[in-house]
């Protein structure tokens, strides 16, 4: 079957944000046969790159800078993609279909893709501007962090979410002392069940990480402009040489809001990644998108989500049918642990653990009735792979068989 005709072969596609989603969309447009001009605008100095290694292999020195790039720089010129680094988009004029850029120029578009991602949330507390108080969002942030952390140093990580825990594990690998400060009474409180929280806490403690749970950070204190400690609400000062604030990210949706696009927790889009303006798409961390499996909308921060959005927008622009729906998923690497998560634990009424957490190889299934809503699999690829299928197909499972390690995941699924 041949592809449907391109709706507008000459259309100029402008992509704002040269990250994982924007970079992928530019390459896919060419792969899907879009012949018209493509301009990729990015405020960072380097071509689109992967962020996950910034808190994992790259931070530990196990991957070099070139391996982060999605494509080598030459790829963009070779595929006639006008990649413009160090260029910020300042505003969108939907009536004229133009974008104003930070060099004062204006760029006309036929189709516009917003791929501006998200930014690390800052803590509005005293001392937040001291040297050594860092975030981890960009390659430049990661360079700064890597230059600071090492033997004889103490790193304080504010936030016990996935990025915070990955930074803690990498900090230990680099020889630093690490203390994690978490406001909630358990780790991963927003994103994982207590089984996983307890498991990760124990694993990190075995690797020498110290935790302060229920710890409200009220300020950073320093000497000569350099951070030297984190002040807690109970009055204690936790001494440190550097801080990573990992308390979540907020969508970069100002461009969309300022030009009147519909937004909620990000830029609202449909299953083609199209916003409330049919000429404008939004993909990746900035998009608030429908997730038909769960019958609801939400914003996700993951590489698979960035890739899916890029496929949706590129397909719509190139006149191809929309890609099939996928189960959302993501991963986290800490020490020798590979956590793979499929789906989201919405409306869950039961949690079932398959395997023994003490073995370092187990999976937590989140069930609604006899349907799997989500699975968190530690060093357990079959549970992750089959769980992903079960979530997508909405198939009922026999809980007894699911909990029984003697029954393979393949057998559970049939």
DSSP SS3 for 40: strand
Q: Which stretch binds ligand FAD (CB under 6 A): 109-117, 125-133, 212-220, 261-269?
A: 109-117
For residues 86 and 346, give the distance between their C-alpha atoms in angstroms, rounded to a whole number: 40
Kindly provide the residue ranges of all beta strands, DSSP E only, lying in 258-336, ordered along the sequence.
Answer: 263-264, 266-268, 280-282, 287-291, 296-299, 329-334
The answer to whether residue 40 forms part of the interface with ligand FAD (CB under 6 A) is no
- Shortest spacing between CB 329 and ligand FAD, in angstroms: 8
Among the listed residues 100, 218, 302, 371, the single contact to ligand FAD using CB under 6 A = 302
The answer to whether residue 144 forms part of the interface with ligand FAD (CB under 6 A) is no
The answer to whether residue 16 forms part of the interface with ligand FAD (CB under 6 A) is yes
Q: Which stretch binds ligand FAD (CB under 6 A): 39-47, 290-298, 388-396, 403-411?
A: 39-47
Among the listed residues 11, 18, 130, 363, the single contact to ligand FAD using CB under 6 A = 18
Among the listed residues 43, 177, 212, 241, the single contact to ligand FAD using CB under 6 A = 43
Extract the tokens encoding 92. 């969108």
Among the listed residues 8, 44, 82, 110, the single contact to ligand FAD using CB under 6 A = 44
The answer to whether residue 328 forms part of the interface with ligand FAD (CB under 6 A) is no
- Shortest spacing between CB 187 and ligand FAD, in angstroms: 16
The answer to whether residue 117 forms part of the interface with ligand FAD (CB under 6 A) is yes
The answer to whether residue 279 forms part of the interface with ligand FAD (CB under 6 A) is no
The answer to whether residue 273 forms part of the interface with ligand FAD (CB under 6 A) is no
Residue 153 CB: number of other CB atoms within 10 A? 17
- Shortest spacing between CB 335 and ligand FAD, in angstroms: 14
Q: What is the DSSP letter of 241?
A: S
Say how far residue 192 (Cα) sits from the centre of its chain. Answer: 16
For residues 354 and 348, give the distance between their C-alpha atoms in angstroms, rounded to a whole number: 17
Residue 74: partners with Cβ closer than 8 Å, 6 or more residues away = none
Burial 37-69, CB ≥16 within 10 A → b, else e: ebbbbbbbebbbbbbbbbbbbbbbeeeeeeebb
Q: Which stretch binds ligand FAD (CB under 6 A): 13-21, 153-161, 179-187, 380-388?
A: 13-21
Q: Which stretch binds ligand FAD (CB under 6 A): 67-75, 169-177, 302-310, 347-355?
A: 302-310
Residue 360's region, left for phi above 0, alpha for psi from -120 to 50, else beta, is left
């Amino acid at each position: 079957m041949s592809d449907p005709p391109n709706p507008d072969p000459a259309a100029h596609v402008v992509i704002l944000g040269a990250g994982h989603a924007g970079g992928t969309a530019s390459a896919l447009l060419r792969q899907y046969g879009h012949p018209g001009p493509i301009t990729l605008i990015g405020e960072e100095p380097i071509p689109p790159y992967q962020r996950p290694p910034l808190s994992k292999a790259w931070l530990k020195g196990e991957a070099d800078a070139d391996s982060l790039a999605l494509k080598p720089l030459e790829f963009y010129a070779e595929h006639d993609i006008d990649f413009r680094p160090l260029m910020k988009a300042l505003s969108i004029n939907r009536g004229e279909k133009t974008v104003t850029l930070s060099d004062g120029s204006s760029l006309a578009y036929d189709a516009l893709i917003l791929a501006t991602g998200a930014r690390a949330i800052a803590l509005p507390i005293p001392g937040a501007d001291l040297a050594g108080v860092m975030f981890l969002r960009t390659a430049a942030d990661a360079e700064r962090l890597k230059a600071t952390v090492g033997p004889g140093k103490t790193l304080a990580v504010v936030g016990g979410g996935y990025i915070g825990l990955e930074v803690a594990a990498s900090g230990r690998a680099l020889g630093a002392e690490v203390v994690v400060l978490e406001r909630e009474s358990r780790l991963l409180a927003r994103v994982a069940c207590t089984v996983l929280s307890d498991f990760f806490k124990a694993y990190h403690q075995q690797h020498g990480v110290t935790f302060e749970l229920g710890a409200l950070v009220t300020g950073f204190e320093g000497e000569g402009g350099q951070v030297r400690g984190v002040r807690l609400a109970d009055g204690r000062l936790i001494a440190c040489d550097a801080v990573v604030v990992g308390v979540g990210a907020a969508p970069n949706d100002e461009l969309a809001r300022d030009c009147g696009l519909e937004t909620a927790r990000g830029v609202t889009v449909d299953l083609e990644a199209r916003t409330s303006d049919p000429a404008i798409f939004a993909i990746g961390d900035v998009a608030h998108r429908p997730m038909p499996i769960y019958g609801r909308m939400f914003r996700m921060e993951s590489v698979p989500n960035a890739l899916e959005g890029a496929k949706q927008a590129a397909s719509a622009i190139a006149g191809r049918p929309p890609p099939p729906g996928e189960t959302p998923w993501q991963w986290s690497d800490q020490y020798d642990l590979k956590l793979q998560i499929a789906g989201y634990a919405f409306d869950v009424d039961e949690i079932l653990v398959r395997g023994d957490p003490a073995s370092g190889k187990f999976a937590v299934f989140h069930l609604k009735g006899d349907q799997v809503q989500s699975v968190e699999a530690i060093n357990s690829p079959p549970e992750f792979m089959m769980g992903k299928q079960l979530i997508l197909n909405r198939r009922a499972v026999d809980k007894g068989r699911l909990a029984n390690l003697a029954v393979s995941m393949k057998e559970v699924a049939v």
